[in-house]
Amino acid sequence: MDRNYRRCSGGPVGLLTLTLLLAAILLSGCGGREEALYPVTRVSVILPHNDDGYWSLIREGIEEAEAELGELYNIDIQISIPQLNYNISQMTDILKQQVAARVDAIVIQGNEDETFRQVLAEAQNRGIQIICVDTAIRDFPCNLYIGTDNYEAGRLLGENMVRLADGKARAAVVTGEPGYLNLEQRLQGFRDVTARYPGIEITSVNYNHYDGLTFMNQYHSLSDEADILVCLEGTGGQTLSHAFTGPDAEYRFVVGFDAYTGVESRVIAGVVKQDTNQMGRRIVEEIANYVSEGRYTDDVIYTDCYWLSADSYDEVSR
């Protein structure tokens, strides 16, 4: 497989959608009162952050697909966001509210907080479907995971960093928070690739806690130990994209995830770009499939990711 592209599995709702659409049209033309083909499915989506380049695109995909499929499959989606970004306590409170409201499905980003897991388990015991998007939960039986194959994404990042570095680098890694399975899988994939190259050293792994100021302090201090900076999530790339208008000499180069504007300005040498809009759309498409067929197309659905550099910028869709 091309090292710059990772495919997803499964496919969107297709022939079934067309068939039911024709049926709905026929029913609406019979002169009587139009009735929904399915009972209402109430879906609560809890997003951890109201950003302008990642979760906002997942939300955009959800809303686009709901506009296309929501009425046909009688799906009602409500989206909630905590007041503080990635605040697990606030997300747990929202989760408790939705469980008490007895919604039919809850969509969350997974995390390893024990109280959060307990509330999810209670929801499943009440028959509520649990869908993880972006991040799965270790040893927790979510009904469905939709998102990047994060181990493969980490490998993709490692392959391209090694290529750009000509097989020789002292690389410092900056990631978000401990306890997020997606970030751990990315790191493992990255390590497994770089371990094959004696000239590549990972000097340290650091946490920015999704905070731009913390990241910038690390950016300046880690250059004492490393000549390449690796960002395993989007905070670093987004922060650098706002801080600089062109390449900075503190490192040979920086690589990361998702911050495509920094790639365009060459502040960042390249990123693994996840198809977040696709993640959002697949949530709704899979719920529609569950409504009509009583099942999801699979219990794990990997969405696309790409290697995006300045040279390939115009070829890869945002």
* pLDDT tens digit sequence for 163-205: 999 999 999 999 999 989 999 999 999 999 999 999 999 999 9
Residue 30 lies in a domain: no
Same domain? 70 vs 179: no
**Global confidence as pTM:** 0.85
Containing structural domain, residue 290? 10-22+37-147+275-303
Question: What DSSP string runs through 113-178?
Answer: -HHHHHHHHHHHHTT-EEEEES---TT---SEEEE--HHHHHHHHHHHHHHHHTT-EEEEEEES-T
Residue 246 lies in a domain: yes
Residue 27 lies in a domain: no
Q: What is the C-alpha separation between 261 and 265, in angstroms, rounded?
A: 6
pLDDT in tens, 225-243: 999 999 999 999 999 999 9
Same domain? 264 vs 295: no
3 state DSSP class of 31: coil
Residue 212 lies in a domain: yes
Same domain? 165 vs 285: no
Q: What is the C-alpha separation between 116 and 269, in angstroms, rounded?
A: 37
How many angstroms separate the Cα of 144 from the Cα of each of 46, 107, 288, 300?
15, 9, 13, 6
Same domain? 132 vs 160: no
Residue 141 lies in a domain: yes
Same domain? 189 vs 239: yes
Same domain? 14 vs 128: yes
Q: What is the C-alpha separation between 7 and 234, in angstroms, rounded?
A: 21
Query: Would you give the DSSP letter of residue 209?
Result: T
**Ramachandran bin of 109, using left for φ above 0, alpha for ψ from -120 to 50, beta for the remaining angles:** beta
Tokens of 49: 């952050």
Q: What is the C-alpha separation between 34 and 37, in angstroms, rounded?
A: 9
Backbone angles phi, psi at 78, to 5 degrees: -120, 135
Same domain? 217 vs 184: yes
Confidence of residue 122 (pLDDT cuts 50, 70, 90): very high
Same domain? 17 vs 132: yes
Residue 283 lies in a domain: yes
Q: What is the C-alpha separation between 267 and 259, in angstroms, rounded?
A: 10
* b/e burial code for range 225-239 (CB count within 10 A of at least 16 → b): ebbbbbbbbbbbbbb
pLDDT in tens, 241-295: 999 999 999 999 999 999 888 999 999 999 999 999 999 999 999 999 999 999 9
Same domain? 166 vs 93: no
| Pair 291, 266: CB distance under 8 Å | no
Q: What is the C-alpha separation between 86 and 64, in angstroms, rounded?
A: 24
Query: Would you give the DSSP letter of residue 50?
Result: -
CATH code of the domain in which 247 resides: 3.40.50.2300
Same domain? 163 vs 55: no
Confidence of residue 222 (pLDDT cuts 50, 70, 90): very high
Residue % of the chain over a pLDDT of 70? 87
3 state DSSP class of 103: coil
Same domain? 74 vs 164: no
Residue 29 lies in a domain: no
Instruction: Over range 84-92, report the average pLDDT.
Output: 94
Residue 42 lies in a domain: yes
What total of structural domains would you count in the chain? 2
Q: Name which residue leads in pLDDT, 310 or 123.
A: 123
Same domain? 100 vs 159: no
